[in-house]
Amino acid sequence: MTIGSATPSVGLDDVHAARTNLRDVAEHTPIVRSAALTEAVGGPVVLKAENLQRTGSFKLRGVLNKLATLGPAAANGVTAGSAGNHAQALAFAARHAGVPCEIFVPAGAPVTKVEACRYYGASVVEDGVSLDEAMTGARSRATEAGMAFCHPFDDPAVVAGQGTLGLELVESVEDLALVVVPLGGGGLASGVAIAVKSLCPDVVVIGVQAAVCAPYAGAQPPTGGVVTLADGIAVKRPGELTAPLVERWLDDVVTVGEDAIADAMVMLMDRAKLYVEGAGAVGVAALRTAAVAPAERGTTCVVLSGGNVDLGVLPGLIQRHETQAGRRLVLFALIDDRPGGLASFLSVFADAGANLVEVDHKREGVDLHVRQTGVHATFEVRSAEHGHAVIEAARAAGYDDLDVEPAH
């Protein structure tokens, strides 16, 4: 990596000082052992469950340290531009400090994060279609109102605050060998790396970016808004401070695709019982796709950086997973358009143990006999093998023209 040229200006002493500033508010989040990932990748894997941090992400560490270093300069209030987690953390920290807070978010920011900011007492302003535009609005507001602008990552106090997570890793994982950490603007990844590698130089730290927005991996920044499950790390340009820190302290940067992120989110819900947003799940995605190999000796730790999942995303993720796992059967059939025709059709599937999810008649755009109707139906089944058995039972019952949609 050859990004940036400024001299790094955050060190281990800054991280230790930050720990004192946030000790009474931020949680020391747990380390969770993952049997599923350990078995899948062939080496010990643990998860740093920062999704269980207050406000639902690591961001609280950085903003608490920032407000502590601002002191009286925050009296007129604080403002920030953020896609969600930084804003939510700043709103919480500002309420704790008793100062006003105004948050600027891009259009389409996750609803759960926006509502959380308002819950903590912040004013929320939707400004622009990108994070850059929201941050410009926040800077302007800070200048005109004498407020303190709080950058989400490109700030020494923020980086040092995020680095306290690295101190916890060193203290909690005895044989720590590899840390896999989400990489967006670089505040978390560089802070963690500074703490970990200053104390344990042989530990490898790898950053993970979403492939659709991966400037640290050398990709050209996309134009316009970025559509990704990992919206929390969809930062188009490295920071002036964080770029050289990432360059100096991280061992490598890899990328993962949207399907891998979706699969990681569902795997964490299903197997680890952890609710993790896309940006927080990229490290798991990297291990599952072999973009990152587990440590040959010692323990691999994956940082789950946030748990603020947009609830609207979940149904699609679950349906996709169920279809891929062979537990959803989607088909089209022609049946008799007579009283009892649909009931007879559905009873065949019920007798075979399939559970009806939804059914629609299709009479337009289909080549039908005058006494026929088309039926598009979705069923839940126990497995792919059960699905095949259900289809065979339907064909044996006379529905031999079934058109079964493939799993996606």
Which tens digit of pLDDT belongs to each residue from 263-294?
A: 999 999 999 999 999 999 999 999 999 999 99
Residue 296, domain member (yes or no): yes
Q: Same domain for 304 and 167?
A: yes
Q: Same domain for 302 and 370?
A: no
| Terminal C-alpha separation, the chain | 36
Phi-psi region of 340 (alpha: psi -120 to 50; beta: other; left: phi over 0): left
Residue 1, domain member (yes or no): no
Query: Do residues 188 and 165 touch, judged by C-beta distance below 8 A?
Result: yes
Q: Give the pLDDT band of residue 102 (cuts 50, 70, 90).
A: very high
Q: Same domain for 261 and 184?
A: yes
Assign 91 to helix, strand or coil: helix
Q: Same domain for 182 and 304?
A: yes
pLDDT one-digit tens code per residue, 114-161 = 888 999 999 999 888 877 788 899 999 999 999 999 999 999 999 999
Q: Same domain for 336 and 295?
A: no
Residue 340, domain member (yes or no): yes
Buried b (16+ CB within 10 A) or exposed e, 348-364: bbeebebeeeeeeeeee
The pLDDT value recorded for residue 324 is 80
Query: Do residues 204 and 197 touch, judged by C-beta distance below 8 A?
Result: no
Print the domain residue range for 83. 60-149
Q: Same domain for 286 and 179?
A: yes
Q: What are phi and psi of 403, to 5 degrees?
A: -110, 105
Measure the CA–CA gap between 181 and 292, rounded to whole angstroms: 11
- Domain end point (choices 282, 316, 350): 316
The pLDDT value recorded for residue 66 is 97
Measure the CA–CA gap between 396 and 61, rounded to whole angstroms: 62
Residue 3, domain member (yes or no): no
Q: Same domain for 51 and 68?
A: no
Q: Same domain for 166 and 219?
A: yes
CA atoms within 13 A on the CB side of 205: 29
Q: How many CB atoms lie within 10 A of CB 133?
A: 16
Residue 6, domain member (yes or no): no
Phi-psi region of 121 (alpha: psi -120 to 50; beta: other; left: phi over 0): left
pLDDT one-digit tens code per residue, 30-86 = 999 999 999 999 999 999 999 999 999 999 999 999 999 999 999 999 999 986 889
- Domain end point (choices 316, 339, 355): 316
Closest CA to 272 of 324, 234, 283: 283
Measure the CA–CA gap between 6 and 215, rounded to whole angstroms: 17
Predicted model pTM: 0.85
Q: Give me the CATH number covering residue 112.
A: 3.40.50.1100
Q: Same domain for 133 and 188?
A: no
Measure the CA–CA gap between 283 and 133, rounded to whole angstroms: 28
The pLDDT value recorded for residue 365 is 60
Residue 7, domain member (yes or no): no
Residue 25, domain member (yes or no): yes
Q: Same domain for 169 and 225?
A: yes
What is the tally of structural domains in the chain?
3
Q: Give the pLDDT band of residue 311 (cuts 50, 70, 90).
A: confident
Residue ranges of alpha helices (H) inside 182-305 are 187-199, 242-249, 258-271, 278-288
- Domain end point (choices 126, 149, 172): 149
Sheet strands (E) in 203-291: 204-210, 252-256
Q: Same domain for 43 and 173?
A: yes
Residue 362, domain member (yes or no): yes
Q: Same domain for 281 and 345?
A: no
Span of 100-109, 166-175, 273-282, 314-323 with lowest mean pLDDT: 314-323
Q: Give me the CATH number covering residue 361.
A: 3.30.70.260
The pLDDT value recorded for residue 5 is 42
The pLDDT value recorded for residue 130 is 74
The pLDDT value recorded for residue 83 is 67
What single letter denotes the amino acid at residue 274? L
Q: Give the pLDDT band of residue 108 (cuts 50, 70, 90).
A: confident
Share the mean pLDDT of the chain: 91
